[in-house]
């Protein structure tokens, strides 16, 4: 029935669409909705369509507690079928605009992917076969000198050329030092004859991976993976190119309870679908770990149960960084101080990122180290807000221990323990919405600037091409392309020490 609607939208979006369709020009309606009406696919299917097809939201209450015993928060929206000028009434405040997000600024459409962020975020490689991997350490992180991998390297040192550190979600979030516990065989995208030169490694993959690959479905992907069974399921050559001049990169797990970025060595293979970023400065870390980025991620990223899911297309590519972010000295200093303290605390307490942030967001946690970490996080937030030119927000951005959602079932779990409430040390909702509105507005401005710059560049190049005189054709020569193995990162002896 409804054009440009999404199957994941709450059904209430369709009541809004139906009511809007039934209105005469100048007519209006008011509806009670779930508080997701201004979020995600529900917003895109409902209010976004109304606001971009001749409708105006002229009043709204974003969060109203249901006047009964049910622990439910609703939104109340009033809209009209005409382009009515403001001012409007948003939560009792006079505002010039109410967008489909129920914000006072920023537009109603989805944020645009920004060209400035292109080529910096990547999802890890899909190895597709645990037979490629070696478990080289025990649970304490101590290397096993008798492991098969080390035996093969001792037998033929050339084998080290095709073995790389391999890190996944558990290593990143649970190990205090973010150490990889596994290595992975990587033949790259070479022909089978080249892979066979590494006799021992080829035999391992043939015995442990090939039988599994031969059971792949008979579809294009399955046939390709059966034909090239010694290769991974998916490579990320663009990541190798983007990071070739860096010593380290940022990593974030695909799903996690908290926003938690960490640096890892560039030559470490990140397991898909976890995320790697071609960024190595503390300033970039500061911007991404700040609450400014977190509110963006939690609003536009999807979720799994109560964990956030970091998808680069939704969370990173659309995020408008502060201008001159990576060369900002204040961001660099704030990010470095926070990162170094967090790293010391994890080693000192033998706790990974997840346990550290569990303590960070615990209202009953009052240890001096965690208090100091909270202070440095606030310092990062201030530096980022100043970098955006929003110092007026700093006095309002005072964190509180707030529940992310009300848990209606507050009884004991099957184990007999009480379920932990979803507290988070964060900005109040009004502050979060103000930051989101400004980020959306900035995203739209940046996208428009990039579009205009592209159009100017196209006109300039077209004019220059028109002035060029045609050249006489000349003989061409064919040069040999580099071997694919030359494009792979060279091995480092220290990776195995």
Cα–Cα distance for residue pair 287/280, rounded to 1 Å: 12
Do 214 and 352 fall within a single domain?
no
Q: Has residue 479 been placed in a domain?
A: no
Q: Which of 231, 263, 288 is the last residue of a domain?
A: 231
Instruction: Give 10-residue mean pLDDT values along the chain (497 residues).
Output: 87 95 96 90 93 96 88 92 94 95 91 96 94 74 70 94 96 96 94 95 96 92 93 90 95 96 96 96 98 95 76 96 96 98 98 97 96 98 98 96 68 51 91 95 96 89 69 44 35 43
Q: Has residue 170 been placed in a domain?
A: yes
pLDDT at 452: 95
Do 330 and 450 fall within a single domain?
yes
Tally of domains within the chain: 3
Q: Has residue 223 been placed in a domain?
A: yes
pTM of the model: 0.85
Do 269 and 365 fall within a single domain?
yes
pLDDT at 479: 37
pLDDT at 406: 60
* DSSP category for residue 468: S
pLDDT at 304: 58
Do 327 and 344 fall within a single domain?
yes
Please measure the distance between the N-terminal and C-terminal CA atoms of the chain and give it in whole angstroms: 63
Cis bond upstream, residue 273 (ω within 30): yes
pLDDT at 472: 54
Do 215 and 334 fall within a single domain?
no
Do 257 and 122 fall within a single domain?
yes
pLDDT at 137: 61
CB 334 within 8 A of CB 377: no
pLDDT at 407: 53
Q: Has residue 412 been placed in a domain?
A: no
Cα–Cα distance for residue pair 452/455, rounded to 1 Å: 5
Do 292 and 273 fall within a single domain?
yes
pLDDT at 303: 67
Do 192 and 271 fall within a single domain?
no
Do 197 and 186 fall within a single domain?
yes
Do 450 and 327 fall within a single domain?
yes
Q: Has residue 255 been placed in a domain?
A: yes
Cα–Cα distance for residue pair 78/72, rounded to 1 Å: 20
Cα–Cα distance for residue pair 436/316, rounded to 1 Å: 14
Range of the domain at 153: 129-231
CB 60 within 8 A of CB 90: yes
Q: Has residue 298 been placed in a domain?
A: yes
pLDDT at 215: 92
Q: Has residue 305 been placed in a domain?
A: yes
pLDDT at 412: 46
Do 121 and 218 fall within a single domain?
no
Q: Which of 204, 231, 258 is the last residue of a domain?
A: 231
pLDDT at 25: 96
Do 316 and 364 fall within a single domain?
yes
Q: Has residue 279 been placed in a domain?
A: yes
């Amino acid at each position: 029935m409804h054009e440009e609607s999404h199957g994941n939208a709450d059904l209430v979006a369709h009541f809004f669409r139906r009511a809007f369709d039934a209105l005469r020009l100048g007519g209006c309606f008011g509806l009670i909705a779930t508080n997701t009406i201004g979020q995600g696919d529900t917003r895109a299917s409902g209010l976004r369509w109304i606001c971009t097809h001749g409708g105006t939201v002229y009043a709204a209450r974003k969060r109203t507690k249901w006047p009964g015993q049910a622990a439910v928060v609703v939104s109340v929206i009033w809209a009209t079928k005409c382009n009515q000028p403001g001012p409007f009434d948003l939560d009792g405040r006079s505002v010039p605009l109410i967008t489909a997000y129920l914000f006072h600024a920023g537009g109603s459409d989805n944020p645009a992917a920004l060209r400035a962020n292109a080529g910096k975020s990547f999802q890890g490689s899909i190895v597709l076969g645990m037979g490629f991997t070696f478990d080289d350490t025990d649970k304490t992180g101590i290397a096993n000198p008798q492991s098969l991998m080390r035996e093969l390297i001792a037998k033929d040192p050339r084998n080290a050329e095709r073995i790389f550190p391999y890190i996944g979600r558990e290593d990143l979030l649970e190990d205090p030092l973010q150490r990889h516990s596994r290595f992975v065989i990587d033949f790259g995208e070479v022909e089978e004859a080249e892979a066979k030169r590494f006799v021992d490694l080829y035999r391992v993959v043939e015995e442990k991976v090939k039988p599994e690959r031969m059971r792949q479905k008979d579809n294009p992907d399955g046939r390709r993976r059966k034909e090239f069974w010694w290769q991974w399921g998916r490579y990320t050559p663009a990541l190798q190119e983007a990071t070739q001049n860096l010593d380290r990169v940022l990593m974030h797990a695909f799903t996690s309870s908290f926003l938690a970025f960490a640096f890892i060595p560039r030559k470490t293979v990140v397991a898909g679908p976890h995320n790697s970023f071609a960024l190595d400065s503390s300033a970039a870390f500061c911007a991404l770990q700040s609450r400014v980025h977190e509110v963006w991620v939690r609003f536009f990223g999807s979720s799994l149960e109560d964990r956030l899911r970091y998808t680069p297309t939704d969370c990173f590519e659309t995020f408008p960084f502060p201008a001159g972010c990576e060369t900002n000295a204040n961001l660099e200093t704030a990010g470095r101080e926070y990162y170094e303290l967090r790293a010391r605390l994890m080693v000192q307490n033998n706790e990974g990122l997840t346990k550290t942030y569990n303590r960070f967001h615990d209202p009953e946690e009052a240890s001096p180290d965690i208090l100091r970490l909270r202070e440095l996080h606030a310092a990062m937030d201030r530096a980022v807000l100043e970098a955006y030119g929003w110092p007026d927000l700093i006095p309002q951005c005072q964190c509180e221990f707030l529940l992310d959602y009300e848990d209606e079932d507050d009884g004991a779990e099957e184990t007999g323990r009480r379920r932990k409430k979803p507290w988070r040390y964060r900005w109040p909702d009004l502050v979060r919405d103000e930051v989101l509105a400004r980020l959306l507005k900035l995203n739209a401005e940046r996208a428009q600037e990039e579009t205009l710059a592209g159009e100017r560049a196209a006109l300039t190049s077209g004019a220059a091409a028109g002035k060029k005189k045609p050249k006489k054709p000349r003989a061409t020569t064919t040069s040999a392309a580099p071997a694919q193995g030359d494009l792979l990162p060279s091995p480092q002896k220290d990776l195995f020490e």
